Amino acid sequence: MQLFEHFPLKDRHTFHIDAFARYWADFDSVEALRSVLKDPRFATLPKLAVGGGSNLLFTGNYEGLLLHSTIQDLEFIPDGASMVRVRAGSGLCWDDLVEATVRRGWCGLENLSGIPGNVGASPVQNVGAYGAEAKDCIVSVEAMDVHTLEMHTLSNADCRFGYRDSRFKKEWKDRFIICYVTFSLSKEFKPNIRYGELTRHLEEQGGVTLEGVRQVILNTRAAKLPDPEVLGNAGSFFMNPEIPNEQWERLRTRYPDMPHWLLENGRVKVSAAWCIDKAGWKGKRLGNAAVHDKQALVLVNVGGATAGEVTALCEQIVQEVEGMFGIRLKPEVLFI
Ligand SMILES: Cc1cc2nc3c(=O)[nH]c(=O)nc-3n(C[C@H](O)[C@H](O)[C@H](O)COP(=O)(O)OP(=O)(O)OC[C@H]3O[C@@H](n4cnc5c(N)ncnc54)[C@H](O)[C@@H]3O)c2cc1C
């Protein structure tokens, strides 16, 4: 375990905005985590788990203890003839896990290639991309209750996963520190390429293979999304809103080209990026914060942005999109 005081956060979150944490602890095992949490110095301080900081915006200094997992274990457990279970430490880089499973020919995580961050955060917001979500493969999550210091094994059903959502963001917020996540993967390749864009690229490549899907997704992401090491950002800043069908029926008469997806629950998901673009925000700048010029869903730090500038930009977009479409955008990024 390593403990730091007055710890700089600029390189610990992908927006790269200046801020400090009163304490930062790296823990590499369940026992190390328990010993930090037992330390009386931290008893009354707020505590938060942080992974790669790719879904966070620090709006000021953090006057508490940030807990960063460096648990790197990776265990493969046979599960019948056609399946395998993978138990991964929360401190592993997410894409290293995806790469390791694809290399072994195991199917399930390939569409989630290239998502920044660590394994521990994957169940929190149920990471998703290209028609797949972490919940499709998660079997269980092993996490420590910060109050009782007991470990719990939480099943997929316990976590109540939803679109970029889980109980870790609701009633379990600030309660659990995730140490391991177990995934169930298939040894048979069952491609999930509902996205037309993927199919086209794979056809150009001459066929659909597990490695091919990963590579096409990595290339597509690199072409579309700004690299946080070059231009600070946290990926999609807003979630795609889900609206009632009646509202969609009214909107479609006015905006027939609005991208949308009909959901099983009768609601309609619409594209937040399209709304932001239509409201004229794509490429616009406010101080040193801006809307990316290729992807309207991504807010960027063009250099030296303050959290206040990013927040102000976010608020103005929310207001204008609401005024224009009657839809209130919700940030996907967590404000700390
Ligand atoms: C360029 C870019 C592209 C992105 N693309 C996608 C995408 O396609 N799909 C997608 O879903 N997301 C995407 N994201 C968002 C982000 O990568 C994911 O949300 C990722 O899972 C965050 O991981 P992290 O380790 O950085 O978590 P952090 O940002 O550090 O934390 C996120 C949340 O998880 C909690 N958390 C982290 N670790 C633990 C732990 N061990 N125990 C308990 N709670 C924990 C934190 O408290 C916080 O609430 C993108 C981000 C960027 C910068």
Span from the CA of 121 to the centroid of ligand 1 (angstroms): 5
What is the C-alpha to C-alpha distance for residues 69 and 120, in angstroms, rounded to an integer?
8
pLDDT at 288 over 80: yes
Convert the pLDDT of each residue in 59-113 to its tens digit. Answer: 999 999 999 999 999 999 999 999 999 999 999 999 999 999 999 999 999 999 9
Take residue 16 and report the two structure tokens written for it.
């790269």
Query: Which residues are catalytically annotated?
Result: 164, 236, 332
pLDDT at 203: 78
pLDDT at 228: 94
Span from the CA of 94 to the centroid of ligand 1 (angstroms): 9
Take residue 80 and report the two structure tokens written for it.
């019948």
CB count, 10 Å around CB of 183? 22
| Sign of the alpha-carbon dihedral angle for 110, 115, 116, 119 | negative
Span from the CA of 54 to the centroid of ligand 1 (angstroms): 5
Cβ of 185 less than 6 Å from ligand 1: no
Cβ of 241 less than 6 Å from ligand 1: no
| Sign of the alpha-carbon dihedral angle for 101, 102, 106, 107 | positive
Question: What confidence category does residue 204 fall into, taking pLDDT thresholds of 50, 70 and 90?
Answer: confident
Residue 188's DSSP bridge partners are none
pLDDT at 205: 77
Convert the pLDDT of each residue in 32-47 to its tens digit. Answer: 999 999 999 999 999 9
Nearest ligand 1 atom, CA 54: 26
Span from the CA of 44 to the centroid of ligand 1 (angstroms): 26
pLDDT at 194 over 90: no
pLDDT at 13 over 90: yes
Cβ of 14 less than 6 Å from ligand 1: yes
Nearest ligand 1 atom, CA 164: 11
pLDDT at 206 over 80: no
Cβ of 54 less than 6 Å from ligand 1: yes
Give the up-direction half-sphere exposure of residue 271: CA atoms within 13 A in the CB hemisphere: 18
Cβ of 52 less than 6 Å from ligand 1: yes
Please compute Rg for the chain using Cα positions.
Answer: 20
- Residue with the smallest CA separation from ligand 1 atom 28 is 53
Span from the CA of 55 to the centroid of ligand 1 (angstroms): 4
